A = this chain, B = another copy of it.
Amino acid sequence: MRIWKRNEIAARFDVARATRMVEQGFIAYSQGTARVPPIQNIQFESVNGECCIKSAYIVDASTFAVKVSSGFYNNPAAGLPTNNGFTVLISAHTGEPVALLQDEGWLTSVRTAIAGQLAARLLAPLEVEGIGIIGTGSQARLQLAYLKPVTACREVHVWEPIPERCARFASDMSAHGFEVHVHDTAEEVAGSANLIVTATPSREALLQREWIRPGTHITAVGADSMGKQELDPGIVARAGAIVVDSIVQCSQYGEVSHALSAGLIEKEALVEIGTLLAAKRRGRNDADRTQVTVADLTGVAVQDAQIAESIVSPKARLQAMRTVSAGEKLPGAKKRIPHV
């Protein structure tokens, strides 16, 4: 078993390859050719920690993946990273462990940003007038960076509760070519943007239905486990299209779960990102300039399996998968994305 350290992983990383493989993972998942057991989650209340274990096998792939992702939120105060996660790739032919990727959660961050990019390619309005970002952490930054190939818009509106963090975000992301405006409320952000990404660990709605401009798309990536929430369920209820990474997962947690349990939407309204990618079709009705759309991303283990494989043996996996990537037909060129 080869052990990969974070710097080796980052050096080998190729964004175009990783994006293609994550796309193919979503397609396999939605077509039923991936095996993804329910996620294991363990809480460590006394140290404000959590751990989730995800595994996935894409049928006929040469490896499968087990990913351990942790969030120990007291760690930074002790000078330690929040996420010490890792992924193990295991031979699907013999069960032998092939590679241990000690990426400390980096691959999880990147595959989440890739999913955000795919969602924007499928759902962002054709004319983005302003990008709204709720949250200023590393995932919020990555989400913004990964929007670059999808839209020419560089006008960014940001909010989170702590002003110092907003200022740092503005300064850092300006260096990446964005024109960043810091706001005092999430409502102001919603009023200035028609492509919004929420990337926070919030446990209550940060965006209200009445704030959302007609024609806006919102990607919510924060609600990755039970109890988390970023959107007023009324936003989901109002949406003309609701795209999810996994119908199963998003029905249990994620933004969609709140709208479902409140009886505001039916499960039949949900469309998986993999279904759209396979059909090579957009998720929104571009003829309707007022349509609000939502993408709810909870993180699916096929993403983890595919991004890990893109590092370890990219050619083998790409050759093995016969499904054609839908990416080329969608708006948005594949360029190198600066890593934030």
Give me the interface of A with B, judged by CB distance under 8 Å: 1, 3, 35, 37-38, 40-44, 47, 49, 51, 53, 55, 57, 64, 66, 68, 70-72, 75, 78, 80, 82-86, 88, 90, 92-97, 100, 102
A163 to chain B, nearest CB (A): 29
In addition to A35-B43, A44-B93, 10 A-B residue pairs with Cβ atoms within 8 Å of each other are A37-B40, A37-B42, A37-B53, A40-B55, A42-B64, A53-B55, A53-B66, A66-B68, A80-B94, A85-B95
Separation in Å of the A40 CB from the closest CB of chain B? 4
Q: Is B68 within 8 A of A44, CB to CB?
A: no
CB distance from A69 to the nearest CB of B (A): 9
B47 touches A37 (CB 8 A): no
Which of B3, B70, B92, B96 makes the CB contact (< 8 A) with A95?
B70
Q: In the complex, are the beta carbons of B38 and A38 less than 8 A apart?
A: yes
| Copies per assembly | 2
B-side contacts of A95, CB under 8 Å = 49, 51, 70-72, 75, 82-85
Tell me the smallest distance from the CB of A54 to a CB of chain B, in Å.
9
Distance in Å: Cβ of A77 to nearest Cβ of chain B: 11
A37 to B40 Cα, complex, angstroms: 5
Q: Which DSSP category, helix, strand, loop or mixed, fits chain A's interface?
A: strand
Query: Which B residues touch A70, using CB under 8 A?
Result: 90, 95
Assuming the contacts A37-B40, A42-B57, asked whether A97 and B86 have C-beta atoms less than 8 A apart, the reply is yes
Nearest B residue to A1 via CB reads B102
**Interface contact B40-A38, CB-CB below 8 Å:** yes
Which single residue of chain B is at the shortest CB-CB distance from A92?
B44
Give the CA-CA distance A229 to B18 in the complex, in Å.
Answer: 43
Cα distance, A75 to B38, chains bound together (Å): 27
Closest B residue, CB atoms, query A38: B38
Chain B: minimal CB distance from A75 (Å): 6
Contacts of A53 in B (CB 8 A): 37, 40, 53, 55, 66
Residue numbers in B under 8 Å from A43 (CB-CB): 35
> What are 20 sample pairs from A and B whose C-beta atoms fall under 8 A apart?
A3-B3, A37-B53, A40-B40, A40-B53, A40-B55, A44-B57, A47-B93, A47-B94, A49-B94, A49-B95, A51-B64, A51-B90, A51-B95, A53-B53, A53-B66, A66-B66, A68-B88, A70-B90, A84-B94, A97-B102
Top 4 A-B residue pairs of the complex, sorted by shortest distance between their CB atoms? A70-B95, A37-B40, A72-B95, A84-B95
Q: Is the CB of B55 within 8 A of A80?
A: no
Residue of B nearest to A85 (CB): B95
Kindly state the separation between the CA atoms of A84 and B64 in the bound complex, as whole angstroms: 14
Report A107 CB to chain B, min CB distance, Å: 15
Q: How far is the CA of A38 from the CA of B57 in the complex (A)?
A: 18
Tell me whether A94 and B75 are in contact (CB under 8 A): yes
Q: Within the assembled complex, what's the spacing in Å between the Cα atoms of A88 and B86?
A: 10
- Tell me which residues across on chain B come within 8 A of A41, comparing CB atoms: 37
Residues of B within 8 Å of A64, CB to CB, are: 42, 51
A71 to B3, CA, bound (A): 23
A268 to B80: give the CA distance in the assembly, Å: 47
For residue A46, give the distance in angstroms from its CB to the closest CB of chain B: 8
Residue of B nearest to A93 (CB): B47
B contact residues around A100 at 8 Å (CB): 100
